């Protein structure tokens, strides 16, 4: 189903997910992509990183990139996630060490073989307010793919309704909650962005243990240094690391602030009250209610 408004904002909605034009132009293309991802072949050692857009996917991907490599870190460059949702990545995803497969799809569309063969899965989530703000700024700049003219007020309304790229934040994490309730033995590690920011070393220890790695704290600190915002941004700005996420001038829009609480610079008191009420309703009994983690 095509959704568009007077601001020339257009998305295609299929099975509860929303895709910006021109990533996909028809429902058939999207259905074919669902099949591609669901049938994506597992390779021993694969790590599947699942997340909503703008919850810290690029940062965590690079933490994994350096963490899952045993050699010298000094001369390594950062790594750009290859979203299986949009790209045929069998060849592109090759790297030194184990593969990192990234997806914003909900559980029902993820690779069946990955779970059947015991692949490791990390699920990332973030305060939905900061997630919404981060998406707003990305859409404003990424004019190659989305002709984005929405005001903050209109955008926030659409965000709450799930009419933004990849659909509803709430539906995404509720689908994971249902999956975890149905399969309590599911081998999955849940990481909250705020915890990763506030106590990075502790969270890297958790991830290291989950992946069966044996790095020292000194090595983990070196990984964190390589993944500082300044270093990741420098790799992209220098042109040594390529990214598809650019503005109309070809300038990277990957990294902005990456801070906790930037929503306070955007939400009015009334918007915050409405947002909190919806969070309480939508994530009432969910482990992904960020307030339970703070």
Confidence category of residue 39, pLDDT binned at 50, 70, 90: very high
- The mean pLDDT value for 189-207 works out to 96
| Whole-structure pTM value | 0.91
- The mean pLDDT value for 276-288 works out to 92
For the cut 70, the answer to whether the pLDDT of residue 239 exceeds it is no
Bridge partners of residue 188, in order along the sequence: 121
Between CA 133 and CA 136 the distance in angstroms is 5
- The mean pLDDT value for 191-198 works out to 95
For 165-185, write each residue's pLDDT tens digit. Answer: 899 999 999 999 999 999 988
- The pair of structure tokens assigned to 263 is 């929503």
User: What is the domain partition of the chain in residue ranges?
Assistant: 38-292
Bridge partners of residue 205, in order along the sequence: none
Residue 16 DSSP label: T
Between CA 92 and CA 15 the distance in angstroms is 28
For 96-135, write each residue's pLDDT tens digit. Answer: 668 899 999 999 999 999 999 999 999 999 999 999 999 9
For domain 38-292, the CATH architecture is 3-Layer(aba) Sandwich (3.40)
Burial class (CB in 10 A: 0-12, 13-18, 19+), 178: middle
Confidence category of residue 273, pLDDT binned at 50, 70, 90: very high
The pLDDT value recorded for residue 74 is: 85
């Amino acid at each position: 189903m095509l959704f568009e408004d007077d601001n020339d904002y257009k998305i295609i909605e299929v099975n509860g997910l929303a895709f910006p034009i021109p990533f996909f132009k028809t429902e058939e293309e999207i259905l074919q992509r669902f099949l591609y991802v669901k049938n994506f072949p597992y390779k021993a050692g694969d790590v599947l990183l699942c997340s909503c857009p703008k919850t810290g996917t690029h940062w965590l991907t690079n933490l994994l990139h350096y963490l899952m490599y045993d050699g010298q870190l000094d001369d390594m460059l950062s790594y750009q996630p290859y979203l299986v949702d949009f790209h045929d990545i069998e060849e592109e995803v090759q790297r030194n060490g184990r593969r990192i497969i990234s997806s914003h799809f909900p559980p029902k569309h993820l690779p069946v073989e990955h779970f059947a063969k015991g692949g490791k899965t990390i699920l990332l989530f973030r305060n939905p307010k900061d997630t919404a703000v981060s998406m707003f700024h990305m859409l404003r700049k990424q004019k190659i793919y989305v002709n984005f003219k929405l005001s903050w007020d209109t955008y926030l309304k659409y965000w709450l309704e799930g009419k933004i790229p990849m659909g509803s934040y709430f539906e995404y994490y509720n689908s994971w909650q249902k999956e975890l309730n149905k399969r309590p033995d599911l081998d999955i590690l849940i990481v909250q962005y705020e915890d990763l920011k506030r106590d990075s070393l502790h969270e890297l220890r958790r991830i290291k243990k989950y992946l069966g790695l044996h790095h020292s704290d000194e090595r983990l600190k070196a990984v964190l240094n390589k993944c500082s915002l300044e270093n990741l941004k420098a790799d992209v700005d220098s042109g040594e690391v390529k990214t598809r996420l650019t503005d109309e001038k070809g300038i990277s829009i990957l990294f902005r602030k990456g801070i906790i609480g930037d929503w306070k610079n955007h939400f009015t008191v009334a918007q915050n009250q409405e947002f909190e009420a919806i969070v309480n309703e939508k994530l009432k009994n969910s482990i992904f209610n960020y307030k339970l983690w703070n």
